[in-house]
A = this chain, B = another copy of it.
């Protein structure tokens, strides 16, 4: 329910796969939770060459079966786009396709570059032009401008110019490149599909498409996929496994596994640790904010021995809410999305688990909803530390202003939200869920794994 901390994009690609674009469609469908604003697929086949279909909206809205009937591509890349704020939206829908007389190629990107502004300035002064308001095109320009001889060397040298968080897929006529930044901030995995390969932001898309997980792409790695199979290269020697902790806390699908840690299990454990922080438990029932906090609530209940229950239910038919003329009707519109199992919370001291707090407006609403339905007390437990700093790697919380924890003490937050107590998972406890030295916690600590050059640049 976190209202601002939206996921930023998902990528999926196929190489040497029959019905590649349709498999790509299903891959993107499984990654839909990473972006609902736009989507697209670029396919390549020897006969018809590259063909691109992209546009605004969900994959089930943009594509229909007839789109795939005669699309015989065996190689493809696709993208789901998360919402950008303002600006020229339609032009940011990916894949980007670079149609050239020699070596046309396509690109999809999940992440954010921290020195894009500087590179764009330099490229522009040399005559390059850009069509999107996002940074994702920069890599394509660098590759084309590179003086290196081979394609691989061009890509390597270009990757060494950019900083930030990124998972890239590049599709050429005869090969695909799957690339992950040197800090491994964004997830990317490779799998097998019959005789071919698939690459995905999350392993859940392998389960759906019936692909077999091979391994994660490593930080700093370039995997080259061609008819000869897969080859591993590195563009960087100093690599770190700093996958963004928010992937586990909020973004990724519970069925996905990143760095050998299953997301659902991670969340269950975060709930257990959260319970172990307390010596006494103020509640009689533990409920989670659906869907992303159910796992943590389960963990909290297990460790605290307080019964877990289903206190909040999301409406599966919600759909679009009308713009309503009166406050009463607006409130009804909101209530169509989330309902309370009254008997579970009535006259009870409720322990409410949420994964994180960004602006706090949803938490405030839910606490009120529970109290309106008879909850005696609501104790809010957050399965991650307070988010005090903006993120610069493709997560849309780029300003201090909207971060509740950047502007209030825990006591002030408690009063704002209206709950009876408020507790966060400690950073120390969160870190125990990662291998030593791994994970990125910048939004909790303000310590960024890479230099930030473009602090004043919104996306």
Q: Write the residues of chain A forming the contact surface with B, with a CB cutoff of 8 angstroms.
A: 19, 22-23, 26, 29-30, 32-33, 36, 40, 42, 48-56, 58-60, 64-65, 68, 86-91, 96-102, 117, 120-121, 124, 126-133, 137, 140-141, 144-145, 204, 207-210, 253-255, 257, 262, 264-265, 268, 291, 294-295, 298, 302, 307-310, 313-317, 319-320, 322-323, 326, 328-329, 331-333, 335-336, 339-344, 373
Contacts and interface: CB of A to CB of B under 8 A. Distances in A.
A128 B131 contact: no
Given A255-B341, A317-B29, A310 B332 contact: no
| Secondary structure call for the A interface | mixed
Given A127-B145, A130-B99, A302 B307 contact: yes
A66 to B, nearest CB: 9
Contact of A262 (B117, B208, B308, B342): B342
A208 B132 contact: no
Given A42-B88, A264-B343, 16 more contacts: A32-B317, A48-B87, A51-B89, A65-B323, A88-B99, A96-B131, A99-B133, A129-B140, A204-B339, A208-B339, A254-B313, A255-B313, A255-B340, A268-B309, A298-B309, A314-B316
Tell me how many chains of this kind the complex includes: 4
A141 B141 CA distance: 13
A127 B101 contact: no
Given A54-B90, A86-B48, A30 B336 contact: yes
A24 B126 CA distance: 33
B264 A310 contact: yes
A291 to B, nearest CB: 7
A320 B60 contact: yes
Nearest to A320: B60
A131 B341 contact: no
A136 B126 CA distance: 20
B339 A207 contact: yes
Listed from nearest, the 6 A-B pairs whose CB atoms lie closest are: A127-B145, A60-B319, A262-B343, A52-B88, A65-B322, A32-B317
A98 B131 contact: yes
Contacts of A295: 310
Given A127-B126, A320-B60, A335 B87 contact: no
Contacts of A255: 313, 339-342
B124 A100 contact: yes
7 contacts: A26-B332, A30-B336, A32-B317, A50-B88, A257-B342, A264-B310, A298-B310
A16 to B, nearest CB: 16
B126 A101 contact: no
Contact of A208 (B33, B308, B332): B332
A254 B415 CA distance: 31
B257 A317 contact: no
A91 B87 contact: no
B99 A265 contact: no
Contacts of A336: 26, 29-30, 208
Contacts of A129: 98, 100, 128, 137, 140-141, 144
B101 A121 contact: yes
B140 A264 contact: no
Contacts of A132: 99
Nearest to A326: B19
A60 B337 CA distance: 13
B101 A97 contact: no
A128 to B, nearest CB: 7
Contact of A99 (B59, B91, B264): B91
A368 B87 CA distance: 42
Given A101-B120, A124-B101, A133-B99, A342 B207 contact: yes
Contacts of A335: 207-210
